[in-house]
């Protein structure tokens, strides 16, 4: 019986020792040529696996010239769409961005726009 309590204590203790991390996954779907039809709306869905953000973005039409960088700065997750030096024509894309981070973050910055995260546990 003592062994079971000791084992449970060790498992709980090990589970509490976690390093910070940020992972991101992006899915892009081309909507239209040019950037005239880009919608400013953004949708956020939270679940146990992280957050999902759905929005439209004007990006280079060449897949090799698009790069997404996600990093943590304090209580903010910063996501940048790195398109420096892109020569391809621009197009409108539907973006699905999945973010998983530990510990929880209070703000997300996508390029130059910062959004507060609203959660019931804050």
More confident residue, 62 or 28: 28
- Collapsing DSSP states into helix, strand and coil, what is residue 47? strand
DSSP string, 57-101: EEEES-GGG-EEEEEEETTEEEEEEE-TT--SPEEEEEEEEEEEE
DSSP string, 26-45: EEEEEEEESSTT----EEEE
Task: Look at residue 122 in the predicted model and tell me its pLDDT.
Answer: 43
pLDDT in tens, 5-41: 777 777 776 666 678 889 899 999 999 999 998 999 9
Residue 102 lies in a domain: yes
pLDDT in tens, 68-100: 899 999 999 999 988 887 888 999 999 999 999
Give me the domain span that covers residue 63: 20-116
Residue 5 lies in a domain: no
Residue 7 lies in a domain: no
Number of domains in the chain: 1
């Amino acid at each position: 019986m003592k062994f079971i309590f000791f084992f449970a204590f060790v498992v709980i203790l090990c589970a509490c020792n976690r390093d910070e991390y940020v992972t991101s996954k992006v899915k892009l779907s081309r909507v239209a040529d040019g950037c005239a039809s880009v919608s400013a709306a953004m949708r956020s869905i939270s679940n146990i696996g992280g957050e999902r953000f759905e929005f439209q973005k004007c990006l280079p039409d060449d897949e090799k010239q698009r790069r997404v960088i996600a990093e943590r700065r304090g209580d903010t997750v910063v996501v940048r769409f790195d398109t420096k030096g892109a020569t391809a024509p621009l197009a409108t894309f539907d973006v699905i961005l999945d973010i998983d981070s530990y510990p929880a973050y209070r703000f997300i910055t996508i390029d130059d726009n910062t959004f507060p995260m609203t959660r019931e546990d804050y």
